[in-house]
């Protein structure tokens, strides 16, 4: 990777709703724009999903396209295509607590009444648990319908509150992101985790672009962090427009 014109300015980008539509694939036009942007400044990707899901959305080998790539909020970290670190939630919590959480979640979801349910309600990732009341196997239309139902009935919000009480001893953080699920992970393992790989002496500005920047959203912590300049975006086109004004001069 050749050095950009302004290597001491880095922009970090969320994936869903920022570079792609939720769970969609990046358009060729958007990827071309990001590659042009990387000639101007340092570019990094920071997503909550694991690397295989990130590759589904951004393309195979995405960890080697831009200087920094962080999947699972940075628990899997790459710099210039080289793996820096992998951290796991099972090591951190211990298998007994992993089992305790998974059993509780499945019992709770069995009693949640929704218009429809599909499959994959509890997904174990190396750095977090992803919990989806409708199930991640739903279609795009079902996903869109569920999001409206969830907003009207606080399904995810109420479940998060119940988990906070049940697992108050584990020091966990809950983050509602995307349309159908929320993440559960050790406190401090939100997207700010990736900042440990960006030494303060290496960058004059760290910009972050994301769509779930409200309190409780999975971009909130990094959006409000003292080291970052946060930008709320509403679509990939909005991301492109804001970056053009800021960096493509």
What are the DSSP E strand ranges found in the chain?
6-13, 41-46, 68-71, 76-79, 82-86, 122-124, 129-131, 172-177, 181-186, 205-210, 229-232
Which residues, in sequence order, are CB contacts of 46 under 8 Å at separation 6+?
Answer: 12, 13, 14, 68, 70, 73, 74, 191, 194, 208, 222
Residue 16 among the catalytic residues: yes
Measured distance CA(64)–CA(58) in Å, rounded: 12
Structure tokens at 29: 């036009």
Residue 96 among the catalytic residues: no
Which residues, in sequence order, are CB contacts of 61 under 8 Å at separation 6+?
Answer: 55
| 85 phi/psi in degrees, rounded to 5 | -160, 150
Which positions are catalytic? Answer: 14, 16
């Amino acid at each position: 990777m050749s050095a950009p014109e302004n290597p001491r300015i880095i922009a970090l980008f969320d994936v869903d709703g920022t570079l792609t539509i939720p769970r969609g694939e990046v358009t060729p036009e958007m990827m071309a724009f990001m590659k042009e942007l990387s000639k101007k400044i340092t570019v990094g990707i920071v997503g909550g999903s694991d690397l295989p899901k990130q590759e589904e959305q951004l393309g195979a080998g995405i960890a080697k396209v831009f200087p920094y790539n962080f999947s699972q909020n940075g628990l899997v970290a790459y710099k210039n295509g080289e793996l820096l670190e992998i951290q796991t939630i099972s090591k951190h919590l211990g298998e007994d607590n992993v089992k305790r959480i998974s059993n509780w979640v499945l019992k709770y979801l069995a009693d949640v009444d929704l218009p429809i349910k599909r499959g994959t309600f509890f997904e174990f990732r190396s750095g977090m648990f992803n919990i989806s009341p409708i199930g991640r196997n739903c279609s795009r239309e079902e996903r869109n319908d569920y999001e409206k139902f969830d907003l009207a009935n606080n399904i995810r919000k109420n479940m998060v509150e119940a988990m906070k009480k049940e697992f108050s001893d584990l020091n966990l953080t809950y983050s509602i992101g995307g349309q159908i699920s929320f993440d559960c992970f050790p406190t401090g393992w939100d997207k700010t985790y990736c900042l440990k790989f960006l030494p303060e002496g290496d960058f004059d500005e760290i910009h972050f672009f994301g769509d779930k920047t409200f309190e409780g959203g999975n971009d909130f912590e990094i959006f409000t962090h003292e080291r970052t300049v946060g930008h709320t975006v509403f679509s990939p086109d909005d991301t492109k427009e804001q970056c053009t004004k800021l960096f493509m001069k």
